Chains A and B, each alone.
Chain A
Amino acid sequence: MTPPTEPFIRWDWIVANLDDIGQRTWEHVLMTAIAVGVGFVISFGLSLLIIRWRRLAAPIIGVSGVLYAIPSLGLFALLIPLTGVSLLTAEIALVSYTLLILVRNIVAGFDGVPAEVVEAASGMGYGAWQVLWRVQLPLALPTIVAGLRIATVTTVGLVAVTALIGQSNLGSLIVQRGIRASFPTAILVGALGSVLLGLVADLGFVVLQRRLTPWARARSR
């Protein structure tokens, strides 16, 4: 198909396939969002359990650590007999990779709230849930958002790998168009697109955190 004289990057191919690249970028974003979103909900629940019952910290963080350590391909291989070659398989793996990072950061965030602030809140008549939602959570936000940043950037990279089990995203540009067809332009578009997505997500969280925690910058004013 490809003649040996072909240039390394074929801009005309990129232009001709913009719709397809856009579609796959969108799918990449969606898969990342689902993984981080579901991962965050699960992690938040697990973190509340840890905050309430400290004894649960070791087992929960231990299990998330083991999940985190399993290579992604290995995890897909383990899951395929159960959930098939599906989006579900891909998302289960992606979600399980977010847990360790998110649980650790959420718990660290809550632990970092100064004890005297919590004492003052209780002493003034906040109920236990009010202390949690109105005092501890806002103060834990910087650390929690920091966890979301790392988890998101990691997930953006891992989503590409799910192309190996047939998921459509920027990774499948690399796997199907690029490697199988020895077409470097597709590999570059897939890889650079994924990196760019990671950077944009990272920047997004920095902006989000500044918006959510104006008080954290009061000192420098």
Chain B
Amino acid sequence: MTSSSTSPAPDPLSGSPTAAAVVTLEHVSKRYGPADGPLAVTDLSLTIPAGEICVLVGPSGCGKTTTMKMINRLIEPTSGRITIDGEDVMSLPAVELRRRIGYVIQQVGLFPHLSVAENVAVVPRLLRWPEARVRERVEELLELVRLDPGTYRGRYPAALSGGERQRVGVARALAADPPLMLMDEPFGAVDPILRDRLQNEFLRLQARVRKTVVFVTHDVDEAIKMADRIAILQRGGILAQYDTPNTILAAPVSEFVEHFVGADRGLKRLSLGRVRDLPLSSPITARAGDARGDLRLRLEQAGAEYGLLLDAEERPIGWIGRRDLHGDGALAAGDATPGSPTLQPESTLRDALSVMLGSSVQLGVVVDERERVLGLVSVDAISDVLRAPTDR
């Protein structure tokens, strides 16, 4: 994007300063069927702060989807009150309410008979935006979700891949710049690798648009990765815990929560942190052609066991152990034990730990986007982060 504007006009994509809404649920209950039947959602009270991703998570039958659909009144609550920025959702016609709320579902539900551009334009047209503004907005949004407008504008959904459809679905939900988005297992129907990519994309997008997002999933790992706050629901729509992912993992309030997040919740906390949060240490480095004795001396002085051999572009080749550096002569590329996969600053601590455990030296090499070495991370650094009691 160009930043030619000199006035402090808001980013057109993040919209006006009221771009996110506070959502509250006050003693909301829902009963399907007879008046003496069981409750699907029981006396649920939540406040979702503006601009945060709140993930509703729980086993099937916990009422998470029901709860979400009561916000845009696809399901009407039996009792209780839901407000968006203080306004009771029941005070508006349902259709008008829904046009102000972005909605993304698992199967996406793109309209097969409309082109990508027409799909994205649905809500702006329902709101009777002038045609020129609609067209401009569609271009903007396609670029936002990384689909080239020239290529994709005129395509029909049948000609898109699963990931492309999901991106169009997100663009369509953002079209009228709603202060609130509801996402019902939006990445549930794609393969794990694509899901990871779409999650990262959405997080990057959210960092820019800062919507209030209510996100439903049954996958704890997804909840931990996406959420600013997690609401864990148990059968009957009873709120088991509502807190930040870190607090839920560090201090589950009940056996149910503890069981639900899993015995590996210590490990799961690793998904909250990124490699960029860790202190990086500098490796002792050498290049092919350097004197062996010189590297041995430097390792001894630093008290280090291993040196890192780099190529001419500063990219890592592998590790050389101090004990293997007998004699003199020059180092050769073949002296190094090829290293384990490299890490990026965006990698989660969980991935980092996994790489380190697989490496002979128990160190992770962090590289930049051009594969040049930025520094090293150690298992100790990660366990220090885990010991720190508070937030991410």
Pairing of A with B: yes
A125-B99, A215-B158 known; A116+B105 contact, CB < 8 A: yes
Chain A residues whose C-beta falls within 8 Å of the C-beta of B155 in the assembled complex: 218
- Are A219 and B96 within 8 A (Cβ)? no
A218-B156, A219-B159 known; A119+B98 contact, CB < 8 A: no
Min CB distance A173 to B, Å, is 43
Does chain A have a CB within 8 A of B122? yes
A116-B109, A135-B111 known; A218+B158 contact, CB < 8 A: yes
Classify chain B: how many residues form its interface, as a range: 20 to 34
- Are B109 and A218 within 8 A (Cβ)? no
Q: Which residue of chain A lies nearest to B189 when distances are taken between CB atoms in the complex? A: A116
Does chain B have a CB within 8 A of A121? yes
- Are A124 and B159 within 8 A (Cβ)? no
4 tightest A-B CB contacts, nearest first: A120-B109, A125-B99, A218-B156, A125-B98
- Are A125 and B157 within 8 A (Cβ)? no
- Are A119 and B158 within 8 A (Cβ)? no
Given contacts A214-B156, A218-B157, 15 further A-B contacts (CB under 8 A): A114-B112, A116-B105, A116-B106, A117-B109, A120-B103, A120-B109, A120-B110, A120-B111, A121-B109, A123-B72, A123-B103, A124-B99, A139-B113, A218-B155, A221-B159
Secondary structure type dominating chain A contacts:
helix
- Are A124 and B108 within 8 A (Cβ)? no
- Are B126 and A119 within 8 A (Cβ)? no
Does chain B have a CB within 8 A of A178? no
Classify chain A: how many residues form its interface, as a range: 20 to 34
Does chain B have a CB within 8 A of A157? no
Does chain A have a CB within 8 A of B332? no
A120-B103, A120-B105, A124-B99 known; A139+B112 contact, CB < 8 A: yes
Min CB distance A138 to B, Å, is 5
Chain B residues whose C-beta falls within 8 Å of the C-beta of A44 in the assembled complex: none
> With the chains together, A135 CA to B72 CA distance in Å?
20
Instruction: Encode B108-122 as 1/0 by CB contact (under 8 A) with A.
Output: 111111110000001
> With the chains together, A215 CA to B116 CA distance in Å?
11
Chain A residues whose C-beta falls within 8 Å of the C-beta of B99 in the assembled complex: 124-125
Number of A-B pairs, beta carbon distance below 8 Å: 75
Min CB distance B113 to A, Å, is 5
Instruction: Encode A68-105 as 1/0 by CB contact (under 8 A) with B.
Output: 00000000000000000000000000000000000000
Interface residues of chain B, those whose CB is within 8 Å of chain A, are 72, 74, 95-99, 103, 105-115, 122-123, 126, 155-159, 172-173, 182
> With the chains together, A139 CA to B115 CA distance in Å?
13
> With the chains together, A138 CA to B113 CA distance in Å?
7
Chain A residues whose C-beta falls within 8 Å of the C-beta of B115 in the assembled complex: 215
Min CB distance B90 to A, Å, is 16
A218-B157, A221-B159 known; A114+B109 contact, CB < 8 A: yes
Chain A residues whose C-beta falls within 8 Å of the C-beta of B95 in the assembled complex: 125-127
Q: List 11 A-B contacts (CB under 8 A).
A: A114-B107, A117-B109, A120-B105, A120-B111, A121-B109, A125-B126, A215-B112, A215-B114, A215-B158, A216-B112, A218-B155
A215-B156, A218-B156 known; A123+B98 contact, CB < 8 A: yes
Chain B residues whose C-beta falls within 8 Å of the C-beta of A182 in the assembled complex: none
- Are B108 and A122 within 8 A (Cβ)? no
- Are B109 and A119 within 8 A (Cβ)? yes
- Are A116 and B108 within 8 A (Cβ)? yes
Min CB distance A216 to B, Å, is 8
> With the chains together, A164 CA to B135 CA distance in Å?
60
- Are B159 and A121 within 8 A (Cβ)? no
Instruction: Encode A194-221 as 1/0 by CB contact (under 8 A) with B.
Output: 0000000000000000000111101101
